[in-house]
Structure 1
């Protein structure tokens, strides 16, 4: 599975009154990783990507660590104007072992600011996204009816 791994710094203030990283901070971690992993997709003028759906499953509580987190990002589906991303937010111990704290998925849409509407994914963008192709996120419990 082609994955881009992005190290993301943590802040002490990411933790909440319960002594673990607040759930909303996981969205920030995946956002930072997504921005870095997809910088090429956003290179076109007057265009961007919008998050239209986000799902997260918390697996193991996360506490502050000065080494930050590692966020794996990959593409799980590419459509006409949108694409889906998968993520794993993990920490790595001194021996190199990883603990996955959360899995999540986002549905993104390519957007034209001048037209104020979604736009088709270009051939170059499609080629770039294909290089990050991977499997669907394996949630423990699916909320989708199927």
Structure 2
């Protein structure tokens, strides 16, 4: 039986650009960077979640043909892929800190649905929601 999810992959147009974004701006760490001919297995990890990796993969050979790779790049760039979610303690403070590092937000922090959330995209167009869950008051 399975033991859980280890890697969740996203498509990026340029792995070096994606790596710089996730490490330098979001604070992730490199977990694996292995090259095999024209293929590169590149994963990063959030420092608070060492068992889950985010794969930064380029569509193309040997997995996809050129037409499929182009179509996937187009979908990602248009924001057609489902957003990823980054949980934060303080959405407004994280928004200010990431904005100062050059992260471009498509939605400033707003309060709704019992939480505060903001939205940004990585350099390839992958959408992210940054969510601060409201803490329940205890009596």
Is the shorter-chain TM-score for this pair beyond 0.5, marking a shared fold? no
Instruction: Please give the TM-score of this superposition, normalised by the length of structure 2.
Output: 0.27
Higher relative contact order (CA 8 A, sep 6+): 1
